[in-house]
Amino acid sequence: MTGFVEAARREKLAELVKRGVTPFAYRFDRSGAAAEALAGFRENDATVHRLAGRLILLRPMGKTTFGHLEDRSGKIQVYFKIDNLGAEQYELVKLLDLGDVIGVEGPLFRTKTGELTLRVERVTLLTKSLRPLPLGKEDAEGKRHGDLADPELRARQRYAHLAVDPDARERFQLRARVVTYVRKFFDGRGYVEVETPVLQPLYGGAMARPFKTHYEALDTDVYLRIADELYLKRCIVGG
């Protein structure tokens, strides 16, 4: 099934190239993130926003198409209509797939259900997705189910896990913020950050069993570090 889907997407890729569309663009200048655009909305506001992100939902309905665009700040509903885009641009929309990274340009408006939506007046393909992402399905609250559920697959294909799971991305960002805070905390108190060897000829860590490998260039066995204590103490002795 995956092979069939990938073949269909490659056909779309060939059609895009035939039409002169760059399927892997290198630049798109955003005006901001999706969350910023939504937060700054005012009624009767004609501000044109330039947003970029991954398509995680597409609902074609004849001459109109609704979709969800997701960036690192969240997601936003986008509205493609042939009257707003023109025939040539709307043909590009027909060649889009879930997982494609696109740039969109247009003002915000409220739909009949009250949802803030970007009325797309121009669309730019930034990256064509050739392999389908395991996006699962969204429920009424916008939460996804049935995505990459296998823990081993998540670990081996972390890139796919990050692409489909906002919670996983948030954990990565949270860790980065924690590390940054800890570094600033100690740096502000005069501490110096040092690097210690990852592979060591001797290992600490009491009864822990280390990973062992052979260093061909030095013709010696080395061990993956368990504890940095010994090398840090040497740094302290050195002043």
Instruction: Output the average pLDDT for the chain.
Output: 90
pTM: 0.78
CATH ID of 2-132, from 1.20.1260.10, 2.40.50.140, 1.10.10.10, 1.20.1560.10: 2.40.50.140
Q: Indicate where the chain has its CATH 2.40.50.140 domain(s).
A: 2-132
| Total number of residues shown for the chain | 239
> Does 36 have pLDDT greater than 90?
yes
pLDDT in tens, 189-239: 999 999 999 998 887 766 778 899 999 999 999 999 888 888 899 999 997
Read off the pLDDT of residues 123-145 as tens digits, 9 standing for 90 and up. Answer: 999 999 999 888 766 666 666 66
Average pLDDT over residues 76-94: 95
Confidence of residue 59 (pLDDT cuts 50, 70, 90): very high
Tokens found for residue 111? 């739909």
Listed in sequence order, the residues at least 6 apart from 232 whose beta carbon sits closer than 8 Å to its beta carbon are: 194, 196
pLDDT for res 208: 78
Half-sphere exposure of 147 (CA within 13 A, CB side): 20
pLDDT (tens digit per residue) in 11-29: 999 999 999 999 999 899 9
